Every structure is written in C-alpha cells, then in structure tokens.
Chains A and B, each alone.
Chain A
Amino acid sequence: MDSADNKKIMSPGQLVLRRFLKNKLAIAGLVIICLSVVFCIVGPLFSPYGEYEIFYIDTNTGEEISMYDTEALKRPGVGVNVKAPISAKHWLGTDADGRDVFTRLMYGGQISLQFGVAVTLIELVIGVLLGAVAGYYGGVVDMIIMRLVEVFYCIPFLPMMLIVSAFMMTLGVRPEDKIYYLMIFMGIFNWAGVARMVRAQMLSIRETEYMYAAKAAGLSVARQIFKHMLPNAIPIIIVMATMDLGGFILTESTLTYLGVGLAFPYASLGNMVNAVNKSVIMRNYLNIWLPPGLFILAIVMAFNFIGDGLRDAFDPKK
C-alpha cells in the first residue's frame, strides 16, 4: 500500500456532510422533517376525508354520516358527531365541529410548513441583498442600511404582528389573502438579522487578497458579490434560515392560536390547539388539542436540531 494512494482527500462539502451525519440530533431532526413532509403533502391523498368534511351521527342507529350525504342528513335524530373518541374511522377522533382531527393535522402541518418556507425566503431575499450591498460598498450606504437594520431590530416583532394581524381582520382583508400579507409582513420584520450577518461576512471577505484580485480583474459588482463573496456566507445563511424557519412556524401558530393569524378556510395547528380554551376540551378531550401541539413542537424542534447540527458541521474549528 502506498501512502500517496491512501491519502483521502475530501472536499469541504463532504467533510461538512460527514460531520453533520455524525450528529444524532441533527439526523433525528432530518428524519422528523422528512416524515412530516410526507405526512402533510402525501397524507391527504390517502385520507378518505376532506379538510372541512363534517361528520354527523344518527343517534338512533349510531351510524355515521358524512356532510356530503345530503339524503341521510334529512333523517330525524341526526346530529353533528362532535368530539368523537378515537376509533378506527377517526384515528384521533373528531373535533368540536365534527371534523376528523387526524386529517386536519395533515392540512394544518402543510400550511405551517409552506408558510415557514415562504417567510424564510422573503426574509433571505431582503436580508441577503441589503446585507451584501452594505458590506460591499461600506461607507454611507453601509451606514444607512445598518441604521435601517437597527430600526427593524427594535420593532417588537410579536406585538407588531399581533397588531397588524388584528387590524387586517377589522379592515376586512379576505382570509384567503391574509396569509400572503402575513408572510410578507413577517419577512419584512425579520430581515435585519440576516442582513447583519451577511454584512459581517462581506466585510471580512472584502479585504482578502482574492477579492482585490477579482476587483483588479474588472469583474462586475454583481459578479463579485454573487460569485465570489456570497458563497462564503452561505453556511451562515443556511444555519440562520433553518433556525428561523422553525421560529416562523412557532410565531404563525402563536398568532393563529390567539385568533388573529390564519383563519378559515385554512386548517392550522395553532387554531387546533386553540380548542383548549374550552375547559371541557382541555379536561376531557386531549385527542383534540394535544396532537397538534406536539406536532408543532416536533417540527420546530426538528428544524432547530438541523440548524444546530449544521452550525457544528460548518464550524471549521473542529
């Protein structure tokens, strides 16, 4: 065996991947997210029930009737099958409106995940762009952008979202549109952290020899930034994005729980937990509010595990 042959040369990417895969918590997080995505995106295809399908029950026969079965609904003694217990037909029972909890869990998770991803993307677009510009140009541009960062950093996020959200309802924004407004506002209130981070990276890269070389070679500003500087900031951006993703899902569910976030027609996990405010449900119907709460916890925790694992894996010190 020759020593030159067995020298394993790994690219930085491979090294990061290997360190990441060694982190058990991070792997657990990845598995949870994959399972959640499958559950929320693929799950509804297999669920026999719809998101808003309400179930009725014939008190005389005990037979369950779907809301679509208009004929059967006309029979006497038919009432909404509310708070049904866990059964083979309803794996987590039905909620206070007679809807299948398990099915709604899928749709709720779907919205939460989509929402989180969308807000993160908005946050990144604004934050990376402004951060890169501030870091690249420095001087007055940097000063102005950094003051702006500080301004946005100071705005209390949750109260502001609460107010924006609540006012949107009074102002008659259609619930279908509200989700988009919420995404945009949440993105706008959160880009400051990303911008600050990206700027710091840019500043340190700007003074390196290879950037002098790039500048001397006459590369365009956009090319300098996107081709030569930003890639260096990508690890930090990825870590931030992952952790923020979890945070946004948490905030969305909090707003929804408070009744000012996503509302009908969307099934939302926060909304499902909200049922706990009725003391009867809190006491006797754990199947209605416990699963969505645990689901939020699992998703957010998974993103945090992944983010933490990535941060460790990217850390060149080890």
Chain B
Amino acid sequence: MKQYVIRRILTSLVVLLGVSFLIYAMLRMMPGDFVEQMTSGNPTVTAEQKEKLRELYGLNKGIVEGYVQWLSDALRGDFGVSFTYQRPVTEVIGSKMWISFSLAASAFVIELLIAIPLGIAAARRQYSKRDYLIMFLALAGISLPSFFFAAVLQRIFAVGLGWLPLSGMVSAREDYTGFRLVLDIAYHFILPVTVFVITGIGGWLRYVRTNMLEVLNADYVRTARAKGLPESKVVGKHAFRNTLIPIITFIGGSIPGLFAGAIITEGIFAIDGLGKTALDAVNNKDFPFLMTYLMFMAVLTLLGTLISDILYGLADPRVRFR
C-alpha cells in the first residue's frame, strides 16, 4: 500500500510538471506583450514593476527558459504577487479558498443527504414511475445552466418575494459577530447553496443509482434474500454496504474539489471566494494569480483521484493491503 501510494504520488508529480508547462506555454503563446496588455488597465503598476514582471515570468526569454525560471521560483514557494491584491498569490488563495469551501461543503452535505436515499429508492424500483421521476429530476438538474437558474432564484426569492438577499455574504450595515454572524452568512448562503445542490445533485443520483442497481443484481443479494432476511436488511445492509465502497471513494475524491471555488455561482451571488476572485482576475488580467490558480486546481484534481484510489484500497476487503 505504502509503495503504491508513493508511486502514485510520483506519477502525479510528473503529470503536474506537464500541466504546469502546458499552462505556462498556453499563456505565453498568446501573441503580444503580455505584461503591457495585462497591466494597461491597472494604473497602480509602475514601469519598474513591469520590467520586474517580465523578468519574473521570463517573458524576455524563450518559453522553455521562462518556464524553468517560473518553476524554480515556484519550487521555492514563490508564486508571485497578485496585481489586484498586492499580496503573495499563495496568501490570497489560502484565505479565499475557505470561503469557497464553506459554501461548497454545505451544499455537498445536503446533496449527499438527498442523493443517497433517493438514488437507492430509484434503483429499488427500476423503471417504475418513481425511478423515472427521480432520474428526470437528476438529468434536469445536470442540464440546468447555473447562471440562468441563479437568475430565476434571484428573481423569485429576492426580487419577487423579497424573502432572501439578492447577493453578498453578510448584511451591509449590520456588524454581526459570533453566532449572529454565522446565521447571517447562512441566510445569504441559501440561494447559492440551492444552485449548487440542484445543479450538482444529478451526478450523485446517477452514481448512487447505477451502483445500487449493480449490487442489487448481485448473487450475494439473492443469497441474503434466500436466507429470509427482511427486505430492509437486504437493501440496507447487504446491498448498501457494497455500494458504500464506491460512494465513499467518490466522496473522498470530491473533497479536494470543494476548495476550487465556483466561478459562476460565486460571481453571481457576489460570494468572495476563490471562484469570484478568479473571475475578477480574468477581468483584471491578474497573471500571477491565474497561473497559480490553475495550478492549484490541477493539484486538487490530482489529489482527488489519489484520495479516491487510496480509499478504494482501504474500504474493500478484497483489495485491502496488509
């Protein structure tokens, strides 16, 4: 197991190297003077800084040389300073990602709480009306453009009924602290979390249903029924424990992604997380931030697959390493 993990980490590093080079090259291959273009709308950047930037990103060198320089800086933990925030990029990401996480994680928990029982319910009566309805809702959710759905929710609940805030994370002019602050944030999170849940739950529903269907057709489930176990035990214990393996694996693999931030939803609801920051960075051409942000996302993806593979090994007695 240990060896396996080490080998996986090493391949991941190779992949990461490829990703970083590709991203760097892509950004560099855009014609024109990057720094000039990107800093043109930002008067706070001085000529001196521009020159430093060119040097920092090796823009005065070839792509390969420039990349090597970027890489050696990055390996020393220097990812540059964000134009917009005038702070080290790593610091910006480190602080914003927790906001994104709190939003995404609350939605994630709700998704699971709904998707697992509903997915099982659909699988237990395959091709029934119930199954069709659940799968219809799942697919509809996947197909829903989040920007459109967010607008509809805002129109109904914020503009129309006036029950919920249109956007933002805290009420302006109210200096809540402690528990009141948490409540206030939760109040502001209702709409964005709804967007997350509705657009994200479909994938989970399908996953749970597919796995449950597979398990319900397994011979050992038939054996369990033949023993005379009540259906609740057949499904709840024998089938569920077996679907739990892929589900846990998938959950584990999804957790890193919760830090990634949601560009659209955070942008629309003005939640000051990583997604909105990235959106702003695109508009402000905050190159150091974007480069690091993309790398951060790549690391999260790799981490996700790594975690799910390890969990798979731990959860299934058949592949459990001793």
Q: A25-B136, A260-B282 are in contact. Are A293 and B145 (CB under 8 A)?
A: yes
Q: Is the C-beta of B285 less than 8 angstroms from some C-beta in chain A?
A: yes
Q: A25-B132, A150-B15, A283-B155 are in contact. Are A156 and B297 (CB under 8 A)?
A: yes
Q: Is the CB of A276 within 8 A of B260?
A: no
CA distance A33 to B261 in the complex (A): 33
Q: Is the CB of A297 within 8 A of B147?
A: no
Q: Is the CB of A297 within 8 A of B148?
A: yes
Chain A residues with Cβ under 8 A from B159's Cβ? 279, 282-283
Chain B residues with Cβ under 8 A from A155's Cβ? 19, 22-23, 294, 298
Within 8 A of B (CB), among A221-237: none
Q: A25-B132, A156-B301, A282-B154 are in contact. Are A166 and B148 (CB under 8 A)?
A: no
Q: Is the CB of A170 within 8 A of B285?
A: yes
Q: Is the C-beta of B218 less than 8 angstroms from some C-beta in chain A?
A: no
Q: Is the CB of A308 within 8 A of B139?
A: yes
Chain A residues with Cβ under 8 A from B282's Cβ? 159, 162-163, 166, 260
Q: A154-B16, A159-B263, A282-B151 are in contact. Are A171 and B32 (CB under 8 A)?
A: yes
Q: Is the C-beta of A147 less than 8 angstroms from some C-beta in chain B?
A: yes
CA distance A270 to B159 in the complex (A): 21
Q: Is the CB of A160 within 8 A of B285?
A: no
Q: Is the CB of B143 within 8 A of A167?
A: no
Q: Nearest chain-A residue to B142 (Cβ)?
A: A304
Q: Nearest chain-B residue to A243 (Cβ)?
A: B142
Chain B residues with Cβ under 8 A from A254's Cβ? 145-147, 264
Q: Which of A159, A167, A270, A301 contacts B278 (CB 8 A)?
A: A159
Q: Is the C-beta of A158 less than 8 angstroms from some C-beta in chain B?
A: yes
Chain A residues with Cβ under 8 A from B319's Cβ? none
Q: Is the CB of B139 within 8 A of A273?
A: no
Looking at the assembled complex, report how far the CB atom of A308 sits from the nearest CB atom of chain B, in whole angstroms. Answer: 6
Within 8 A of A (CB), among B25-72: 26-27, 30-32, 37-38
The A-B contact count (CB < 8 A) is: 131
Number of B residues contacting the other chain (C-beta, 8 Å)? 50
Looking at the assembled complex, report how far the CB atom of B172 sits from the nearest CB atom of chain A, in whole angstroms. Answer: 17
Q: Is the C-beta of A191 less than 8 angstroms from some C-beta in chain B?
A: no
CA distance A147 to B11 in the complex (A): 9
Q: Is the CB of A159 within 8 A of B293?
A: yes
CA distance A309 to B15 in the complex (A): 35
Q: A154-B298, A171-B31, A304-B142 are in contact. Are A163 and B147 (CB under 8 A)?
A: no
Looking at the assembled complex, report how far the CB atom of A19 sits from the nearest CB atom of chain B, in whole angstroms. Answer: 11
Chain B residues with Cβ under 8 A from A257's Cβ? 145, 147-148, 264
Q: Is the C-beta of A164 less than 8 angstroms from some C-beta in chain B?
A: yes
Q: Is the CB of A289 within 8 A of B151?
A: yes
Within 8 A of A (CB), among B244-297: 260, 263-264, 267, 278-279, 282-283, 285, 290, 293-294, 297
Q: Which of B145, B264, B290 contacts A297 (CB 8 A)?
A: B145
Q: Which of A151, A290, A300 contacts B22 (CB 8 A)?
A: A151
Q: Is the C-beta of B144 less than 8 angstroms from some C-beta in chain A?
A: yes
Q: Is the CB of B148 within 8 A of A293?
A: yes
Q: Is the CB of B19 within 8 A of A154?
A: yes
Q: Which of B31, B145, B302 contacts A154 (CB 8 A)?
A: B302
Looking at the assembled complex, report how far the CB atom of A12 sits from the nearest CB atom of chain B, in whole angstroms. Answer: 21
Q: Is the CB of A246 within 8 A of B18?
A: no
Q: Is the CB of A273 within 8 A of B148?
A: yes
Q: Which of A147, A156, A289 contacts B298 (CB 8 A)?
A: A156
Looking at the assembled complex, report how far the CB atom of A109 sits from the nearest CB atom of chain B, in whole angstroms. Answer: 14
Q: Is the C-beta of B135 less than 8 angstroms from some C-beta in chain A?
A: yes
CA distance A164 to B290 in the complex (A): 11
Q: Nearest chain-A residue to B147 (Cβ)?
A: A257
Chain B residues with Cβ under 8 A from A258's Cβ? 147, 263-264, 267, 279
A162, A163, A170, A254 interface centre (most CB from chain B within 10 Å) = A163
Looking at the assembled complex, report how far the CB atom of A10 sits from the nearest CB atom of chain B, in whole angstroms. Answer: 20
Q: Is the CB of A301 within 8 A of B140?
A: yes
CA distance A260 to B263 in the complex (A): 13
Q: Nearest chain-A residue to B151 (Cβ)?
A: A276
Q: Is the CB of B19 within 8 A of A282?
A: no
Q: Is the CB of A158 within 8 A of B148?
A: no
Chain A residues with Cβ under 8 A from B11's Cβ? 147, 150
Q: Is the CB of B16 within 8 A of A273?
A: no
Q: Is the CB of B18 within 8 A of A148?
A: yes
Q: Is the CB of B26 within 8 A of A164?
A: yes
Q: Is the CB of A154 within 8 A of B301?
A: yes
Q: Is the CB of A156 within 8 A of B146?
A: no
Q: Is the C-beta of A38 less than 8 angstroms from some C-beta in chain B?
A: no
Q: Is the CB of B298 within 8 A of A158?
A: no
Q: Is the CB of A151 within 8 A of B19?
A: yes
Which 4 pairs show the lowest CB-CB distances between chains A and B? A293-B148, A156-B297, A301-B143, A300-B143
15 A-B pairs with C-beta separation under 8 A:
A148-B18, A154-B16, A154-B19, A155-B294, A164-B26, A170-B285, A171-B37, A254-B147, A257-B148, A258-B147, A282-B154, A283-B159, A297-B140, A297-B144, A300-B145
Beyond A154-B297, A170-B285, A297-B145, 19 additional pairs, beta carbon < 8 A: A25-B135, A25-B139, A153-B301, A156-B294, A159-B294, A160-B23, A162-B263, A162-B282, A171-B31, A254-B145, A254-B146, A273-B145, A273-B148, A276-B151, A282-B155, A293-B148, A296-B148, A300-B145, A304-B143
The interface of chain B, by Cβ under 8 A from chain A, is 11, 14-16, 18-19, 22-23, 26-27, 30-32, 37-38, 132, 135-136, 139-140, 142-148, 151-152, 154-155, 159-160, 217, 260, 263-264, 267, 278-279, 282-283, 285, 290, 293-294, 297-298, 301-302
